[in-house]
Amino acid sequence: MSDEIKIQKASAAIAYLLNRSKRDEKLYYQIGFGTEAFRLLTDAHAALTGEEVAVVEKRFGA
């Protein structure tokens, strides 16, 4: 598997969790805005997609 495919899969998994947390209160409590998990997930997603962290945070939680 190429590095590009690995990056795409990791990015998709992170985006799935961040999107899912917006619809699931129990998950949001664990990984939603203000948690360390949210900070790590949004930082990783920004690094993988080339977006600014603030843009990713705003889209998924803030």
Average pLDDT in the 26-49 region? 96
The Cα–Cα gap between 28 and 51 comes to: 22
Give the confidence band of 62 by pLDDT, cuts at 50, 70, 90: low
Q: How many domains does the chain have?
A: 1
Give the confidence band of 42 by pLDDT, cuts at 50, 70, 90: very high
Average pLDDT, the chain: 94
Give the confidence band of 43 by pLDDT, cuts at 50, 70, 90: very high
Note the pTM of the prediction, 2 decimals.
0.88
Question: Contact, 18 vs 46, CB < 8 A?
Answer: no
Q: What are the φ and ψ backbone dihedral angles of 37, each rounded to 5 degrees? A: -60, -40
Domain that holds residue 14: 3-60
